[in-house]
């Protein structure tokens, strides 16, 4: 199966070949014919008779890797010693660890970091719990919480299998924003139990990042935790996607010279991400959004069992349009997909307004093949890294949490999300902006600090920041 996001996989093949029977060019030709791309060669040993080499090969998926291995096995004089998946090697023992900030080398060191000296610090916090922010890791720590029910494009794979993703999320927090994050994968799908567990562990953390929890439970979990905790709670699958989508759309509209309040938007996939995307677009000024699910457009004349759809019908589709995606997309300026592969057809795109904008974000296969859409679309964005304009949550959550932690915000509110979206969009300058560059790279060093500052300013403006002053200076690097 192809990897999510269109990412290639690398394998390292250690093989021995006899010099008088086969040449390396024969081996390279066999790998290329099987569809592999050699990206690295290391000589392990060599003699007059044979050579041992590690050959690192990039392939599309596991099926292609198997074809490459079989092709090599058929070559006379070649012996495969070992095959290693570099991604698996990177995960051995996990990807993160904890480190001490202070060395413990003497008895005096021990007495200060632990008993008896630590007792005075504990007493100070007991007398004033606010001091936990200055005297413990709380001020810079985020819990990445998942139950493993909606992981990437893999679905309900459970808490154990979700750990590599949550570890990766913790790595991104640290690498991009200096936030100490820790994966918390819960072996329960019970909504109330998840809420109570997160509340119970909250004293150790300055924020909660909910991740890969299936809808509709994710709505209730986030809502309750936001109400019952005094630290930021952020479901990245909903709001991270929404923030980056809005950032990209703001810049795409500059290219086609259209305004938020004038456009017609059709959005497919009325789940966690779809509802969040809709709400942030409405908050930003969009007036005409039509949500479409597998049964057609969501409209006010229907009674829906799903209470979130019932609410959705009341705030969208002002003209109360009915019918399929193909019916309601006529005249639309923007298509947004957070749904399923291949549901948007070329014929549908042709019905859209001039200079159509398409955000096809289903992973690993978008709602429409970008190459099919290209002749008819002015601006195209996907969730994939192998096409321009990737809508990637990494642009959002590190900076948002960095800002929220730095000003000790009680919550991450709508104004902070809007500010983050505008900040991300602002990183792309007028000189840089074009149809294939509406959103900055996740590795652009300006993104985290620009988002951080915008989030802090919005937090103070809306009264949710608890620090006396906006922090001086900025986060200075990865």
What residues act catalytically?
A: 114, 169
| Cα 446 off chain centre by | 18
Task: In whole angstroms, give the CA distance from residue 380 to residue 370.
Answer: 7
Per the CB < 8 A criterion, the answer to whether 145 and 198 are in contact is yes
Task: In whole angstroms, give the CA distance from residue 16 to residue 371.
Answer: 41
β partners of residue 382 = 360, 390
Q: What is the CA radius of gyration of the chain?
A: 26
Task: In whole angstroms, give the CA distance from residue 333 to residue 253.
Answer: 10
DSSP secondary structure letter of residue 351: T
DSSP string, 206-250: SEEEE-S--TTHHHHHHHHHHHH-SS-EEEHHHHHHHHHHHHHHH
Per the CB < 8 A criterion, the answer to whether 407 and 471 are in contact is yes
Name, in order, each residue with C-beta under 8 angstroms of 436's C-beta and a sequence gap of 6 or more.
388, 389
Residue 392 annotated as part of some ligand binding site: yes
Residue 199 is encoded by which pair of tokens?
Answer: 């509340």
Task: In whole angstroms, give the CA distance from residue 12 to residue 24.
Answer: 16
Residue 386 annotated as part of some ligand binding site: no
Residue 477 is encoded by which pair of tokens?
Answer: 């690097």
Nearest partner of 325 among 313, 337, 309, judged by Cα: 337
What sign does the dihedral 183-188-191-192 (CA atoms) show?
negative
Cα 270-275-278 angle, rounded to 5 deg:
115
Residue 237 annotated as part of some ligand binding site: yes
User: Before 116, cis peptide (omega within 30)?
Assistant: yes
Residue 257 annotated as part of some ligand binding site: no
Per the CB < 8 A criterion, the answer to whether 272 and 342 are in contact is no
Residue 105 is encoded by which pair of tokens?
Answer: 């080398």
Task: In whole angstroms, give the CA distance from residue 453 to residue 351.
Answer: 41
Distances (CA, A) of 281 to 261, 325, 403: 10, 19, 22
- CB burial readout 438-463, b (16+ within 10 A) else e: bbbebeeeebbbbbbbbbbbbbeeee
- CB burial readout 404-434, b (16+ within 10 A) else e: bbbbbbbbbbebbbbbbbbbbbbbbeeeeee
Count of CB atoms situated within 10 Å of the CB of 74: 8
Annotated binding site for (S)-malate: 363, 392
Annotated binding site: 211-212, 237, 363, 392
Annotated binding site for a divalent metal cation: 211-212, 237
């Amino acid at each position: 199966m192809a990897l999510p996001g269109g990412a290639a996989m690398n394998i390292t093949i250690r093989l021995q070949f006899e010099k008088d029977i086969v040449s390396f060019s024969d081996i390279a030709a066999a790998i290329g014919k099987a569809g592999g791309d050699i990206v690295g060669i290391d000589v392990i040993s060599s003699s007059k008779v044979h050579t041992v080499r590690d050959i690192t090969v990039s392939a599309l998926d596991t099926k292609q890797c198997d074809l490459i291995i079989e092709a090599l096995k058929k070559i006379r004089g070649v012996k495969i010693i070992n095959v290693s998946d570099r991604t698996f090697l990177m995960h051995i023992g996990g990807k993160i660890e904890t480190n001490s900030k202070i060395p413990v080398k003497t008895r005096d060191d021990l007495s200060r970091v632990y008993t008896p000296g630590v007792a005075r610090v504990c007493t100070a916090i007991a007398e004033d719990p606010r001091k936990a922010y200055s005297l413990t890791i709380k001020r810079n720590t985020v819990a990445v919480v998942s139950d493993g029910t909606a992981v990437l494009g893999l679905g309900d794979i459970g808490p154990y299998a979700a750990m590599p993703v949550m570890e990766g999320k913790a790595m991104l927090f640290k690498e991009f924003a200096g936030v100490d994050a820790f994966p918390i994968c819960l072996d329960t799908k019970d909504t109330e139990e998840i809420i109570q567990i997160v509340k119970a562990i909250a004293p150790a953390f300055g924020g909660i990042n909910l991740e890969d929890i299936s809808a509709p439970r994710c709505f209730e979990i986030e809502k309750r935790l936001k109400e019952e905790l005094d630290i930021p709670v952020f479901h990245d699958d909903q709001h991270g996607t929404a923030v980056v989508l809005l950032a990209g759309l703001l810049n795409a509209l500059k290219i086609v010279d259209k305004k938020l309040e004038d456009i017609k938007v059709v959005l497919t996939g009325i789940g966690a991400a779809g509802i969040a995307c809709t709400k942030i677009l409405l908050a930003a000024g969009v007036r005409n959004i039509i949500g479409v699910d597998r049964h057609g457009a969501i409209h006010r004349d229907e009674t829906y069992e799903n209470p979130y759809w019932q609410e959705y019908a009341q705030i969208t589709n002002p003209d109360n349009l009915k019918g399929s995606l193909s019916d309601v997309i006529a005249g639309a300026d923007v298509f947004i997909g957070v749904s399923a592969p291949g549901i948007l057809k070329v014929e549908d795109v042709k019905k859209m307004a001039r200079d159509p904008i398409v955000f096809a974000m289903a992973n690993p296969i978008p709602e429409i093949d970008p190459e099919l859409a290209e002749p008819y679309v002015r601006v195209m964005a996907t969730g994939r890294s192998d096409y321009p304009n990737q809508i990637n949550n990494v642009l959002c959550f590190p900076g948002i949490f960095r800002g929220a932690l730095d000003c000790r915000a009680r919550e991450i509110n709508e104004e902070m999300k809007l500010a983050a979206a505008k900040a991300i969009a602002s990183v792309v300058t007028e000189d840089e902006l074009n149809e294939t560059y509406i959103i900055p790279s996740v590795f652009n060093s300006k993104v985290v600090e620009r988002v951080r500052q915008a989030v802090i300013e919005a937090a103070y403006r809306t009264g949710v920041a608890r620090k006396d002053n906006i922090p001086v200076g900025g986060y200075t690097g990865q």
